[in-house]
Chains A and B, each alone.
Chain A
Amino acid sequence: MADFIQLLMNGLALGSVYALAAIGFVIVYSATGVVNFAAGQFVMLGTFAGVATLVNGGWSLPAGYLGALAAMALFGALFYAVVYLPLRNSPAVTMIIGTVAIGITLQNAALLGFGSWPFRLVSPFEGMTVDIAGAVVPVHAIAVVVTTAVLIGLLWLLFNRTTLGIAMRAVAQDLVAARLMGLKVGALLAFTWILAAVLAGVAGLMLGPMWFADVNMGDPIALKAFAATIIGGFGSLPGAIAGGLFVGLTEVLGAAYVSSAYKDLIAFGAMILFLLLRPQGVFGERIQDRG
């Protein structure tokens, strides 16, 4: 039982990171229609932004986190201006190739800048554990789950209680009608990219102490976040959360109880089953609802 609780918390923590990556992916997809293949590299960049400020820069924890997230916000704005704006009227495939190209560029830029040797990003709760019913649970894992829950709550408030969020949802549904409401569509879309990049940054900073900061970490995250959105429902925020947690839990529990060699089989097997049997996912909408 103690082992199970420990694995459960670690799985939830990893799942929270996947959920945040998936949320960033979904926010961008619903607002802009862009399938962002660089979403995993966004998270990698978040981890390395933390490496740059905390490890290489030696900044204090609050300053390092804030600096890294500010860099991610800037990166989101840059991505909007350099990739999204020039390609926004191109066919979907061109946009996808654009995000793939940026993903490869980011990965290799990180390799050039930081080298292939993995870094260790320290947690603010380094070495701290709590005892839950006999299980030794890292405080970092609890902090990750709590942070993610708080962020999800804030996102809910943003999208349902603020005019900014309502305007963002309006833009996601109908650009032309949104313009005719006097909404600054360009600024709202830019903000969407910034928000997605910052969420990926938070995911990266939280993942750093759980994994090693490795320039190749983006690809597995992208695949897991992608599987999470398919299982949860493509384009659905609750789906991204549920899917992310499911993928994280199966990864950790599968490695412990089934086989660490086959841990990814469960999540991706579930994804394939969903594609075959329920392509709209758990919370998915029918395709014709988009228009």
Chain B
Amino acid sequence: MSILRAEGISKRFGGLLALSDIDIRVEEGEFVALIGPNGAGKSTLLNVLTGLTPPTAGHIALDGRDITHASTHARVRAGLGRTFQRGRLFGRLSVIENVMTGVANRPGRSGRELRELARAQLARMGLERFAEHAIGSLSYGNSRMVELTRALACEPRVLLLDEPAAGLNSGEVEDLMTRLRAISTERRLAIVLIEHNMGMVMRLAQRIVVLNFGSRIAEGTPAAVQADPAVLAAYLGEGFSHAGL
């Protein structure tokens, strides 16, 4: 059974159909990439999946349970996690306090235990030495890693990542890829990745879903999607459809 399944998702903003009848499913532990040109509806789809934007039509199920009308915090508690395209750390909280917000909803634990839990999460990502630092003092690359740690602290079963590599240098991208692969395997965590870095997408994803103008135009293995004429047309225009990307 798919861990996350969305069927017939449409989202209309006034006259604009941002998402049109999208079906997407993610299996447990699977690595899925969501790609498409700017404005294709990728971030809108993440907003609908996380409950920040209600869909105009369609159903979403997490682990077989319908969550179409569930609140965002209920979805997160049920196992859905997300990071943002432009980092959204709490700037006036320290690094460890940011991670603590992710473990805050564990029942029956004292503040001290939760702090230790957050510290362990940071240690797992090699970020323990930054625990008491202010967010503003982190390098850009480290602040992205803290955001990832914070999202993982909620113990998601599906993690939606919105352009995690944006703005990272090539060394940091390599490091991120290694970590994501390890996290996905170790925790049996399904990852949905929005990313413009095609090299990263092709190396990480087991399956790629391509959106354009709010519609799903292709889906398949990296090799199949790369060869798909509709995808080439979407990225390069009709004239280049046989250019052999």
Contact = CB atoms under 8 A, between A and B. Distances in A.
A166 B76 contact: no
A163 interface: yes
Given A163-B104, A180-B81, A181-B101, A173 B111 contact: no
Contacts of A170: 90, 93, 97-98, 101
A185 B73 contact: yes
Interface in B102-152: 102-105, 111, 114, 150-151
B72 A166 contact: no
A178 B52 CA distance: 12
Nearest to B71: A179
B111 A177 contact: no
A177 B105 contact: no
Contacts of A291: 91
B20 interface: no
Contacts of A180: 50, 72, 76, 81-82, 151
A150 interface: no
B84 A177 contact: yes
Contact of A183 (B91, B97, B104): B104
A180 B73 CA distance: 6
Interface string A159-195: 0011110110110011011111111110000000000
A161 B89 CA distance: 19
A169 B105 contact: no
Contacts of A167: 101, 104
A161 B72 contact: no
B171 to A, nearest CB: 27
Contacts of B103: 163
Interface in B62-90: 71-73, 76-77, 81-82, 84, 88-90
A163 B111 contact: yes
Interface residues of B, number: 30
B92 interface: yes
B159 to A, nearest CB: 11
Contact of B88 (A169, A177, A289): A177
Contact of B93 (A162, A173, A179, A185): A173
Contacts of B92: 169, 173
A179 B101 contact: no
Contacts of A174: 88, 90
**Residue from A163, A167, A174 with most neighbouring chain B CB atoms (10 Å):** A163
B154 interface: yes
Interface in A267-291: 289, 291
Contact of B91 (A164, A173, A176): A173
Given A169-B92, A170-B90, A185-B73, A178 B111 contact: no
Contact of B52 (A164, A169, A176): A176
A176 B114 CA distance: 22
A179 B131 CA distance: 22
B52 A182 contact: no
A185 to B, nearest CB: 7
A1 B149 CA distance: 59
A182 B103 CA distance: 9
Interface in B42-72: 50-52, 71-72
Contact of A166 (B88, B93, B105, B151): B93
B192 interface: no
Contacts of B150: 181
Contacts of B102: 181-182
Nearest to A180: B82
Interface string A245-265: 000000000000000000000
Contacts of A185: 73
Given A161-B111, A173-B92, A176-B88, A182 B76 contact: yes
Given A163-B111, A169-B92, A169-B93, A178 B101 contact: yes
Contacts of B84: 177
B176 interface: no
26 contacts: A162-B111, A163-B104, A166-B100, A166-B101, A169-B92, A169-B93, A169-B97, A170-B98, A173-B93, A174-B88, A176-B88, A178-B101, A180-B76, A180-B81, A180-B82, A180-B151, A181-B76, A181-B101, A181-B104, A181-B150, A181-B154, A182-B76, A182-B104, A182-B105, A183-B73, A291-B91
Given A167-B101, A170-B90, A179-B51, 14 more contacts: A161-B111, A163-B103, A163-B104, A166-B101, A169-B97, A174-B90, A179-B71, A180-B50, A180-B81, A180-B82, A181-B150, A182-B73, A182-B76, A182-B105
Report, nearest first, the 8 A-B pairs whose CB atoms are least far apart.
A182-B76, A179-B72, A177-B88, A181-B101, A163-B104, A170-B101, A182-B105, A173-B90
